[in-house]
C-alpha cells in the first residue's frame, strides 16, 4: 500500500510495545518537538498534514498535475518555491512570462531570454504548458496599436534639432555630464551610420551621464514630438527630460523609464506642449551601468502644429525646371509650353497653354498621371494658381474608371487660386486641365493634388483603412504565434491557444477598439468571430505533429450559458476546418460566506460542467484551479471548507471525465500572498504565505488518490504495520 511508507520509517520503539510502564513511549517523527506521542492518536487534521507525501505520489497514471507559477521571481529566484514545484508537480504553466506582453517589445522584437533561462532550469520530466497565445489582456498594446495607427511621416527638412555637431563629433552647443563617457561611435548606428555612445560605469542618478541638446526654437503652446532609436549592450534603462515644456519629466509607455536591450527600439515622446519660445532635450542614461547607443540620424524633434505637409500626387507641380510628366492629349500642335519666370506665379516656370478657338472643354486638354491610383472613399483636393490673357473659363477632370468633372471656373488677368474637392472611387489615375471652351492663353502654376487629412501639423498623416488594419492585425497574430511556437516547440507540446473568448451571455466576446488598461488589446475587434479560427490555424501550422491545442475560459462551472457558448464556439471553429484538441476550464471557485445550499449549488454546477465537457469528446483540462476564501486570514471553518472544495473539484473531474479525456489538473499558484498568487489579498492556494501546507493540501491529495489517505492512521493500524 502506497501510504505504508509514510508511517514505518517514522516509528520509533523505546522499550517493549507491551510494557505498562508509562515511561515506555511509542513515538513517530512528524517534525515536531517533542515527537508526537501515541496518546495523541487519533491525529488532528493538522498533524496528518505532515504525514502526507508529495502530491505526485497520489496522481493517477496518465494525469498531468500542474501548477501555475511565477516564472522569474518565484521559480528562478526562490529555491523553496522551485523545490516545492519540482517535488509536487509534473507540469507547470508560466502565469505571465510566456505571453505577448512579456515577450514582444515596443518595436515588435521578441525577447526569449527569460523563457530560455527557465527552460534550461526546468527538469526535463516536467511538462511546460504554453500559456497563452491569444488573449485580450497581457498584450503589448503599445506595439499593436502602433501597427495600425495613422502613419506619421516626418516633414522633409522639418527636424528642428540641428544634428551637425554630433555628425562632425565636435558636440558644439551640446552639454555633457560625464563627457568622457559620451562619444560618437562611427558605424555603430542603426543602419550602419554613426551613433552617440554612452558608457555608464556605475549605477547612479539619471543625470550622471547626460547629453543635453542646444536650444531649439519653439512656438509657445505648440505640440512637439521627439523620437529616436536606442539600444544597449546589456539590459538597461533611460529617460528623456526637457526644458521649456509643460511637463519636463514625462513618462513613456506608462513608465518613468524606458527599458533597453541588445535590439534597436524606437522611443517616441509624442505630445509635448511647449511653454516657451525655446526648448531643450536631455538624454538621461546614468541610472543603470552599461553601454548605450543612440542612432544620430534618427533623433528628430517635430512641431506637430506647424503648417501641414502633404503628399502631392502630381510629381511635377511647380514646373520650374521642365514639363516632365505633362502631356498634350488634345489641342493644336505646340499648344503646351513652359512659361518664362516672368509669367509664373512662383519660382522659375509655369505651364503655358494656348487654346486657339472656342469649342468644347476637352478640345484642348493637358494631362498628368498621378503618382499612385487614388483610394476609394478618401477625400482629395486639387489646387492650383491660374490666370489667362482674357476673361475665360476652364475646368478639371480625372481619368481612370468613372471620371470626376469640376464645375466651370472663371479665369482672368490676375492670378487666382482654384480648389476642387472630390471623393475617390479607387480608380482615378490622372488629372486633366480642360481648356478648350474659350480661346485664350492660360498660365497654370503650383499644381497640387493631395488627400484631405484632418489634423496634421508638421507631419504627413496617412490613416489606414479598415481593410489595412484587419490585415495588419492578422499578420501580427500569425507572426506572434508562429515565432513563439517555433522557438519553444522543442520543449512545449501543449498550448493554450485562445483564452477567455466568451461573454457571460455565451457569445463570442466582441472586444473594444481601446480601453484604459495598459495591456488590453482585442484581436477579435479587428478579426471578428474568426479570430480563434485563425489562431488555431496558425498554431497548428507551427506546432509539432501531435501537440495538443486548447481553448480556455472561466466561470464555466457557475454559468451554463457560458459553458454552452464555448462548446458551440469550439464547434464553429471546427466547422471552419480547424481542430480544437481540448477545452480548459479555469475553475476559480469562491466560498466566502457560502451556506450549505450555496455549496450544494456550486457542487452541482461543477458536476454539470464536467459532464457537458465530457460529452464533447474533447480533452478536458482544469487549467487554473484555486479556491478563494475572501480573506488573507481565513477561519478554521473556511480552511476546512476550502479543502473540501479542492477535493470535490478533483473527484468530480476524475469521476465525470472519461479517462481517455483526462488531460490534467493545474493548481493556480504555489503560496498565498505575494508568492506567485494572482490574488494577493486572498488565501486561495494549498500552501500558505510561508509555504506551509494548508488543509487544502490534504484535500488535493485525497481527491487525487480517490479516498482519504489518512483514514487508517490510528493506533491499531500503526501497531499492525509495525508488527
Q: Averaged over 198-212, what is the pLDDT? A: 97
Please list the residues that pair with 548 across neighbouring strands.
Answer: 494
Where do runs of H (alpha helix) occur along 152-299? Answer: 164-167
Q: Averaged over 602-607, what is the pLDDT? A: 96
- C-alpha distances (whole Å) from 392 to each of 332, 388, 477, 516, 713 are 18, 7, 58, 58, 111
pLDDT at 308 (0 to 100)? 64
All domains in the chain, ordered by first residue: 4-42+716-722 (no CATH), 43-89+587-715 (3.20.20.80), 91-149+464-586 (3.20.20.80), 151-303 (2.60.120.260), 326-451 (2.60.120.260)
pLDDT at 478 (0 to 100)? 98
pLDDT at 142 (0 to 100)? 85
Cβ neighbours, 10 Å, residue 433: 26
Residues labelled catalytic: 500, 624
User: What is the C-alpha separation between 485 and 130, in angstroms, rounded?
Assistant: 9
pLDDT at 395 (0 to 100)? 97
User: What is the C-alpha separation between 49 and 233, in angstroms, rounded?
Assistant: 50
User: What is the C-alpha separation between 399 and 426, in angstroms, rounded?
Assistant: 11
pLDDT at 18 (0 to 100)? 28
Q: Among 288-297, 489-498, 527-536, 590-599, where is mean pLDDT lowest?
A: 590-599
Using one digit for the tens of pLDDT, what is the confidence trace for 411-428? 999 888 899 999 999 999
Q: Are 67 and 711 in contact (CB under 8 A)?
A: no
Using one digit for the tens of pLDDT, what is the confidence trace for 156-204? 447 899 999 999 999 999 999 999 999 999 999 998 899 999 999 999 9
Share of the chain above pLDDT 70, in %: 90
Share of the chain above pLDDT 90, in %: 77
pLDDT at 41 (0 to 100)? 61
Q: Averaged over 369-380, what is the pLDDT? A: 92
Confidence of residue 20 (pLDDT cuts 50, 70, 90): very low
Nearest CA-CA partner of 240 in 183, 290, 155, 299: 299
Confidence of residue 713 (pLDDT cuts 50, 70, 90): confident
Q: Averaged over 243-267, what is the pLDDT? A: 92
**Residue of higher predicted confidence among 3 and 89:** 89
pLDDT at 590 (0 to 100)? 92
Torsion angle, alpha carbons of 33, 35, 40, 41, to 10: 140
Q: Is the pLDDT of residue 344 over 70?
A: yes
Confidence of residue 152 (pLDDT cuts 50, 70, 90): low
pLDDT at 398 (0 to 100)? 97
Where do runs of H (alpha helix) occur along 89-126? Answer: 100-103, 113-121
Amino acid at each position: 500500500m502506497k501510504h505504508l511508507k509514510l508511517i514505518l520509517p517514522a516509528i520509533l520503539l523505546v522499550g517493549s510495545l507491551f510494557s505498562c510502564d508509562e515511561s515506555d513511549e511509542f513515538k513517530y517523527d512528524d517534525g515536531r518537538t517533542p515527537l508526537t506521542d501515541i496518546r495523541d492518536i487519533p491525529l488532528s487534521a493538522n498533524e496528518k498534514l505532515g504525514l502526507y507525501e508529495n502530491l505526485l505520489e497520489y496522481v493517477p497514471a496518465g494525469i498531468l498535475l500542474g501548477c501555475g507559477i511565477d516564472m522569474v521571481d518565484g521559480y528562478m529566484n526562490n529555491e523553496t518555491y522551485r523545490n516545492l514545484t519540482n517535488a509536487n508537480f509534473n507540469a507547470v504553466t508560466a502565469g505571465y512570462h510566456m505571453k505577448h506582453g512579456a515577450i514582444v517589445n515596443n518595436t515588435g522584437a521578441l525577447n526569449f531570454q527569460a523563457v530560455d533561462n527557465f527552460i534550461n532550469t526546468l527538469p526535463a520530466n516536467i511538462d511546460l504548458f504554453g500559456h497563452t497565445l491569444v488573449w485580450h489582456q497581457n498584450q503589448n498594446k503599445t506595439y499593436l496599436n502602433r501597427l495600425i495607427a495613422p502613419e506619421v511621416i516626418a516633414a522633409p527638412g522639418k527636424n528642428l534639432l540641428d544634428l551637425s555637431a554630433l555628425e562632425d563629433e565636435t558636440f558644439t552647443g551640446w552639454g555633457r555630464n560625464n563627457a568622457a563617457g559620451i562619444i560618437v561611435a562611427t558605424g555603430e548606428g542603426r543602419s550602419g551610420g554613426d551613433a552617440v555612445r554612452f558608457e555608464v560605469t556605475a549605477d547612479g542618478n539619471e543625470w550622471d551621464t547626460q547629453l543635453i541638446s542646444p536650444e531649439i526654437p519653439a512656438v509657445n503652446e505648440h505640440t512637439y514630438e521627439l523620437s529616436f532609436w536606442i539600444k544597449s549592450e546589456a539590459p538597461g534603462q533611460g529617460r528623456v527630460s526637457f526644458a521649456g515644456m509643460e511637463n519636463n519629466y514625462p513618462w513613456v509607455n506608462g513608465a518613468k523609464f524606458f527599458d533597453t536591450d541588445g535590439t534597436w527600439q524606437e522611443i517616441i515622446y509624442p505630445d509635448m506642449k511647449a511653454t516657451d519660445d525655446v526648448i531643450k532635450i536631455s538624454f538621461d542614461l546614468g541610472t543603470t551601468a552599461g553601454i548605450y547607443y543612440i542612432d544620430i540620424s534618427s533623433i528628430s524633434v517635430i512641431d506637430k502644429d506647424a503648417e501641414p505637409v502633404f503628399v502631392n500626387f502630381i510629381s511635377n507641380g511647380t514646373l520650374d525646371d521642365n514639363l516632365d510628366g505633362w502631356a498634350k492629349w488634345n489641342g493644336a500642335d505646340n499648344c503646351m509650353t513652359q512659361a518664362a519666370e516672368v509669367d509664373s506665379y512662383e519660382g522659375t516656370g509655369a505651364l503655358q497653354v494656348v487654346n486657339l478657338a472656342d469649342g468644347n472643354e476637352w478640345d484642348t486638354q493637358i494631362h498628368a498621371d498621378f503618382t499612385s491610383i487614388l483610394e476609394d472613399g478618401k477625400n482629395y483636393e486639387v489646387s492650383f494658381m491660374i490666370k489667362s490673357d482674357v476673361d475665360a473659363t476652364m475646368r478639371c477632370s480625372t481619368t481612370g474608371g468613372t471620371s470626376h468633372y469640376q464645375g466651370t471656373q472663371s479665369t482672368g488677368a490676375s492670378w487666382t487660386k482654384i480648389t476642387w474637392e472630390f471623393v475617390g472611387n479607387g480608380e482615378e489615375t490622372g488629372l486633366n486641365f480642360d481648356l478648350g471652351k474659350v480661346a485664350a492663353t492660360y498660365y497654370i502654376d503650383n499644381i497640387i493634388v493631395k488627400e484631405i487629412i484632418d489634423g496634421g501639423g508638421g507631419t504627413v498623416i496617412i490613416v489606414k483603412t479598415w481593410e489595412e488594419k484587419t490585415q495588419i492585425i492578422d499578420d501580427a497574430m500569425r507572426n506572434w504565434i508562429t515565432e513563439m511556437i517555433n522557438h519553444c516547440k522543442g520543449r512545449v507540446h501543449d498550448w493554450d491557444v485562445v483564452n477567455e473568448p466568451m461573454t457571460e451571455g455565451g457569445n463570442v466576446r466582441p472586444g473594444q477598439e481601446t480601453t484604459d488598461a495598459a495591456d488590453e488589446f482585442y484581436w477579435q475587434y479587428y478579426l471578428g468571430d474568426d479570430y480563434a479560427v485563425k489562431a488555431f490555424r496558425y498554431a497548428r501550422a507551427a506546432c509539432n505533429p501531435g501537440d495538443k491545442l486548447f481553448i480556455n475560459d472561466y466561470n464555466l462551472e457557475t454559468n451554463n450559458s457560458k459553458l454552452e457558448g464555448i462548446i458551440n464556439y469550439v464547434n464553429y471553429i471546427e466547422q471552419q476546418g480547424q481542430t480544437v484538441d481540448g477545452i480548459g476550464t479555469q475553475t476559480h471557485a469562491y466560498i466566502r460566506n457560502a451556506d450549505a445550499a450555496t455549496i450544494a449549488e456550486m457542487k452541482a454546477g461543477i458536476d454539470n460542467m464536467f459532464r457537458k465537457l465530457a460529452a464533447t469528446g474533447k480533452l478536458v483540462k482544469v487549467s487554473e484551479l484555486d479556491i478563494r476564501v475572501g480573506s488573507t486570514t481565513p477561519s478554521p471553518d473556511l480552511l476546512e471548507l476550502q479543502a473540501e472544495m479542492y477535493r470535490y473539484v478533483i473527484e468530480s473531474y476524475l469521476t465525470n471525465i472519461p479517462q481517455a479525456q483526462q488531460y490534467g489538473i493545474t493548481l493556480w499558484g504555489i503560496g498565498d500572498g505575494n508568492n506567485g498568487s494572482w490574488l494577493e489579498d486572498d488565501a486561495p492556494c494549498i500552501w500558505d504565505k510561508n509555504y506551509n501546507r494548508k488543509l487544502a493540501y490534504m484535500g488535493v491529495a485525497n481527491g487525487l488518490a480517490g479516498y482519504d489517505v489518512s483514514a487508517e492512521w490510528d493506533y491499531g493500524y500503526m501497531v499492525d504495520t509495525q508488527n
